[in-house]
C-alpha cells in the first residue's frame, strides 16, 4: 500500500539483500520510521515489543527471524535455538507457530551451507503468499460489500472494525480492511467506524492512519460505543481479523471483539471475520477452552502513550495510583456469533463444514 | 465517605453558610481538591465541565445552583433564567430536570424575600434524601451480595462495574457501589472489576480511587475485557448505575453499559442496575427511542489526560492526526437484559410492573 504516494510493504529486505526492514508500528501514527533487523534476537524483540504486530505479519517476521538466525549459526542446534527464541515471543497468534514449524521442516532437510539462502527464499515466498492471500480476501469481501451497497441503493456502506487488521497487520492489503480497500478502489462509497481498541489503541493509531493515508473516510470511536451505533442502525456490517481461528470456526481476536459480535447479533448486523487460512488452527475444536490467551503488562492499562503538545511522545498515568490491572490481550468469539469467514478461497460458514468446504485438504 | 480518615460528602455548604463546596472530580485521582461555587453560573460550569458528575450529584448541584442564583436575583424572571441556565448543561440525566422542576415549583409559591433561605433548605433536604436513598440501596444490594456469597461458600464475590456510580457520583454512599461498601463493611469478601470507562476514564480514575480509599480490593480493566472475564466465570454479578431509567425499565447509563449487559446475558451472569427513584423517568416507555443521548466533544476521544512522569497533568493525542471521532456519552440497555433494579425501596424487576410494585404512587 502507499504512504505519501510511495508503495510499501510492512516488511521487506533492504538493498544489501539480507537486512530486514520493518515499519516501526510503535511510532505510528505520529512518526513514520523503519527499523532494521539484523539478528534473530532483534526480530524476537520486534515481535514481543509490538514493533510489528498482527497475526500474519508476526508469522512473516518470525520466518525472516529464522533466516537472520541462520546467518550466525546454521547448525541444527542453531535452528532449534532460533525457533524456540522466536516461538516464545507471543502465545496467541497461530501464524507464528505455523511459520516457525514450516521453516524448521524445510531447513532441516537442507545442507548447512544452503540454509541461509533457502531461509530467505522461503520467507520471501511466505510473504508473497500472505500478500496474495490478503488480495484474494479483498476480492471475496468486495463481493459482500457490493451486495450491501446494492441493498442500500448505492448509499455509503458503514463498516465497523476492531483493532487493526489492515495492511499494517499483514505484509500488504490487510485482512479485515482488504475488502474495504477493494470496495473503495472499485468506487463503492464506504465509511469505516474504527474502534480505538484499548489498551494499545491500535484502531485509533494504526487503522485510522492507514485508512487516512488511503483516503478512506473513517470515524474513531471508543470501544464502548459500537453497540450504541448498531442499536441506531448506523453500522451495516462488522469486519474484524483473527489471531487464531479454530477448525470449528471459533475466533480469537483482539480483546473486545466478542462484545461487538454480541451487539451485532442482537441488532441483526452481519459480523464477518477475514483471515488467511494460515490463521486457522485445524487441530482445535473449542476456542474458549483451547486457545491460550496472552496476558500482557498491567502498565498498558494504567498508562497511555501519545503525543504531547510539545510534540514529544509521552506516557501519562490514567488510573488511580497503586491500582491493580488485568490485561488479557485477546478474547474468543464463539462461531455461533460469526456470520461468515472471509478467506483467500472465498466466504464460508464459521463451522468445520464451512471451512472444510473451502479447504478440503484439512478434512479429517 | 472517608478520605484519609476524614468524612466527606461530594458537595456541602461551607462554614460561611452559603458558599457551595464540591470535590473537583476532574483532578482526581491525582489531586484531591475542593472547588467553591458562589454563583449559578459556576454551578452550571461545574456540571458542564464534569467537575461534578453522576446523575444524583448533578441534580443536587443544580438545586444548589438555583439557591446561588436566588442570592443575586430572586424574582420570577431570575428563577426562570437560572432554571434554564442549569437545565441546558447536560441532556441525558433526568435528575437534573427533576431537581430543577422541584426547585422551581417550590420557589414560585414562596415570597421573594424568603426564596434564598427556602432554596438552601430544599437543596439540603434533597441532598439528605439522596444520601439516605443511596444508603437504602446499599442495604438492599447487600442482601443480594450476601446470597451470592453464600452460594459461593463464602469465597470472594466478584462484582463488575462500569464507569463511576459510587459515592463520587452521588452525595454519599453511591448507587452501584453502595451494596459493595455495605458488603465489605459487613465482612463479606468482595472484589470489584472496574471498567476503565473510556473516554473519560471515570472507572480507572474515580471508581478505583474511591474503592482504594475505602480499602476494597479491585482490578482495573479496559472496557474491552469484561466479556472475556464473564466467559471464564470470573464475574459473579454486574452492578451499574443509571443516568435515566424509563418507567418500563430501560436503562440509559454510560456508553458501553449495553455491551456488558449483553455479555452478562450470554454468560448467565446477573446484571443489576442500582438507582434512586429520582433517576426514573416515569413518562417514558421506550428508552431506545425516547431518551436523548448526549454527544460530547471528539477531543475526549482523540486525546487522553493523565499524569506525566514529571507529575504534571497533561493531555496526549492518541488518534491519527486529523481523525474524525464520534462521542455518544450514554447508551440504552433494554430492560430484557436487566436482571433487576436495586432501588431505595428494594429490588424489583426491570419492568413497569416491577417498578410500580415498589412505587405504586407512579401507577397510571
Q: Is B205 on the interface with A (CB under 8 A)?
A: yes
Based on the domain organization, do A307 and A194 belong to the same domain? yes
Half-sphere exposure of A7 (CA within 13 A, CB side): 4
Inter-chain CB proximity A323 and B218 less than 8 Å: yes
In Å, how far from its chain's centre is CA B251?
13
A240 found inside a domain: yes
pLDDT in tens, A177-228: 999 999 999 999 999 999 999 999 999 999 999 999 999 999 999 999 999 9
User: Facing residues of B295 across strands?
Assistant: B328
**Helix (H) or strand (E) segment spanning residue A169:** none
Q: Note whether B192 and B159 are within 8 A (CB).
A: yes
If asked whether residues B82 and B180 sit together in one domain, one would say: no
The span from the CA of A255 to the CA of A257, in Å, is: 6
- Tell me, what's the pLDDT at A101? 97
**CB-CB neighbours of A22 under 10 Å:** 24
Same-domain status, B175 and B316: yes
Q: Mean pLDDT across chain A, nearest whole number?
A: 96
Residues of A belonging to the active site? 243
Contact (CB<8Å) A302/B331: no
Residue A5 has pLDDT above 90, yes or no: no
Whether B137 is covered by a domain: the verdict is: no
> Average pLDDT of A331-359?
98
Interface-testing mutation among B225, B265, B286, with chain A (most A C-beta atoms within 10 A): B225
- Burial label for B360, CB within 10 Å (0-12, 13-18, 19+), is exposed
Is the pLDDT confidence value at A135 over 90? Answer: yes
Nearest-angstrom CA–CA distance, A245 and A350: 9
Cβ contacts (< 8 Å) between A255 and chain B: which residues? 222, 224-225, 228
- The structure's pTM equals 0.95
The pLDDT value given to residue A2: 82
* Inter-chain CB proximity A256 and B219 less than 8 Å: no
Measured CA to CA, the distance from residue B94 to residue A220 in angstroms comes to 28
pLDDT at A6: 86
Shared domain check, A146 and A80: no
A75 and A160 belong to one structural domain? no
Q: Do A187 and A123 share a structural domain?
A: no
The verdict on B204 and B344 lying in the same domain is yes
Question: Does the structure show a pLDDT above 80 at A114?
Answer: yes
A75 CA to chain B: closest CA distance, Å? 43
Contact list in B for residue A230 (CB cut-off 8 A) is none
* Chain A stretch 25-64, residues whose beta carbon is closer than 8 A to a beta carbon of chain B: 28-30
Is A211 in the same domain as A235?
yes
Considering only residues A1 and B269, tell me which one the structure prediction assigns the higher pLDDT.
B269
Residue B84 sits in a domain of what CATH number? 1.20.120.420
Whether residue B201 lies within 8 A of chain A, CB to CB, comes out as yes
Q: Are residues A150 and A51 in the same domain?
A: no
ipTM of the complex, rounded to two decimals: 0.95
**pLDDT, one tens digit for every residue, chain B (364 residues):** 888 888 899 999 999 999 999 999 999 999 999 999 999 999 999 999 999 999 999 999 999 999 999 999 999 999 999 999 999 999 888 899 999 999 999 999 999 999 999 999 999 999 999 999 999 999 999 999 999 999 999 999 999 999 999 999 999 999 999 999 999 999 999 999 999 999 999 999 999 999 999 999 999 999 999 999 999 999 999 999 999 999 999 999 999 999 999 999 999 999 999 999 999 999 999 999 999 999 999 999 999 999 999 999 999 999 999 999 999 999 999 999 999 999 999 999 999 999 999 999 998 6
| A10 has pLDDT over 90 | yes
Decide which of A77, A101, A129 is a domain's last residue: A129
Q: Is residue B28 part of a domain?
A: yes
* Chain A hits for B288, Cβ within 8 Å: 231
B99 and B153 part of one domain: no
Same domain, B264 and B125: no
Q: Among residues B105, B129, B153, which one ends one of the domains?
A: B129
The count of structural domains within chain A is 2
Q: Is B292 on the interface with A (CB under 8 A)?
A: no
**Mean pLDDT computed over A342-346:** 98
Q: How confident is the model at residue A89 (pLDDT cuts 50, 70, 90)?
A: very high
* Rounded-to-integer distance, Cα A361 and Cα B181, Å: 58
Asked whether residue A134 is assigned to any structural domain, the reply reads no
In a domain, B134, yes or no: no
Closest partner CB to A323 (pick from B198, B220, B318):
B220
Cβ contact (<8 Å) for A227 and B256?
yes
- Of the candidates B29, B309, B314, which has its C-beta nearest A320's C-beta? B29
- Is A318 in contact with B196 (Cβ distance < 8 A)? yes
When pLDDT is cut at 50, 70 and 90, the band that residue A109 belongs to is: very high
For residue A86, pLDDT beyond 90: yes
Q: Which of A205, A263, A319 sits opposite B318 (nearest CB)?
A: A205
- Expressed as residue numbers, the domain containing A185 is 142-362
Q: In this structure, is residue B135 part of a structural domain?
A: no
Residue B136 covered by a domain: no
Q: Taking a C-beta distance cutoff of 8 angstroms, is the pair B237, B148 a contact?
A: yes
CB contact under 8 A, B331 and A219: no
The answer to the question of residue A136 being in a domain is: no
Q: Look at residue B1 in the predicted model and tell me its pLDDT.
A: 84
Beta bridge partners of B143: none
* Residues of B assigned a catalytic role: 243
Contact at CB, B219 and A263, closer than 8 angstroms = no
Co-location of B199 and B324 in the same domain: yes
- Domain boundary residue among A129, A152, A181? A129
- CATH number, domain at A209? 3.40.50.10470
Closest-CA residue of B relative to A29 is B320
Residues A266-320 have pLDDT tens digits of 999 999 999 999 999 999 999 999 999 999 999 999 999 999 999 999 999 999 9
Q: Is B312 on the interface with A (CB under 8 A)?
A: no
Amino acid at each position: 500500500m502507499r504512504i505519501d504516494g510511495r508503495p510499501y510493504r510492512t516488511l521487506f529486505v533492504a538493498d544489501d539483500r539480507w537486512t530486514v526492514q520493518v515499519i516501526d508500528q510503535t511510532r505510528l501514527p505520529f512518526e513514520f520510521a523503519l527499523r532494521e533487523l539484523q539478528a534473530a534476537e532483534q526480530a524476537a524483540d520486534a515481535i514481543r515489543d509490538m514493533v510489528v504486530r498482527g497475526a500474519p505479519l508476526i508469522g512473516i517476521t518470525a520466518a525472516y527471524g529464522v533466516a537472520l538466525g541462520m546467518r550466525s549459526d546454521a547448525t541444527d542446534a542453531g535452528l532449534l535455538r532460533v525457533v524456540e527464541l522466536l516461538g516464545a515471543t507471543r502465545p496467541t497468534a497461530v501464524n507464528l507457530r505455523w511459520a516457525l514449524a514450516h521453516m524448521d521442516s524445510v531447513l532441516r532437510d537442507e545442507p548447512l551451507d544452503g540454509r541461509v539462502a533457502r531461509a530467505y527464499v522461503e520467507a520471501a515466498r511466505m510473504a508473497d503468499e500472505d500478500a496474495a492471500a490478503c488480495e484474494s480476501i479483498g476480492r471475496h469481501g468486495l463481493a459482500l460489500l457490493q451486495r450491501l451497497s446494492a441493498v442500500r441503493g448505492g448509499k455509503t456502506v458503514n463498516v465497523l472494525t476492531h483493532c487493526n487488521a489492515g495492511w499494517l497487520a499483514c505484509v500488504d492489503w490487510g485482512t479485515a480492511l482488504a475488502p474495504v480497500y477493494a470496495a473503495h478502489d472499485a468506487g463503492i462509497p464506504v465509511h469505516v467506524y474504527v474502534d480505538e481498541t484499548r489498551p494499545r489503541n491500535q484502531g485509533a493509531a494504526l487503522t485510522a492512519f492507514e485508512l487516512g493515508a488511503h483516503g478512506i473516510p473513517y470515524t474513531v470511536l471508543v470501544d464502548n460505543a459500537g453497540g450504541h451505533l448498531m442499536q441506531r442502525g448506523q453500522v451495516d456490517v462488522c469486519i474484524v481479523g483473527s489471531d487464531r481461528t479454530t477448525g470449528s470456526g471459533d475466533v480469537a481476536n483482539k480483546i473486545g471483539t466478542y462484545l461487538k459480535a454480541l451487539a451485532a447479533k442482537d441488532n441483526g448486523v452481519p459480523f464477518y471475520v477475514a483471515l488467511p487460512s494460515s490463521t486457522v488452527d485445524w487441530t482445535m475444536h473449542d476456542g474458549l477452552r483451547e486457545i491460550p490467551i496472552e496476558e500482557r503488562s498491567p502498565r498498558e492499562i494504567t498508562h497511555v502513550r501519545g503525543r504531547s503538545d510539545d510534540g514529544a511522545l509521552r506516557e501519562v498515568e490514567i488510573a488511580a495510583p497503586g491500582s491493580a490491572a488485568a490485561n488479557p490481550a485477546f478474547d474468543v468469539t464463539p462461531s455461533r456469533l460469526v456470520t461468515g469467514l472471509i478467506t483467500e478461497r472465498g466466504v464460508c460458514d464459521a463451522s468445520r463444514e464451512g471451512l472444510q468446504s473451502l479447504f478440503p485438504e484439512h478434512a479429517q
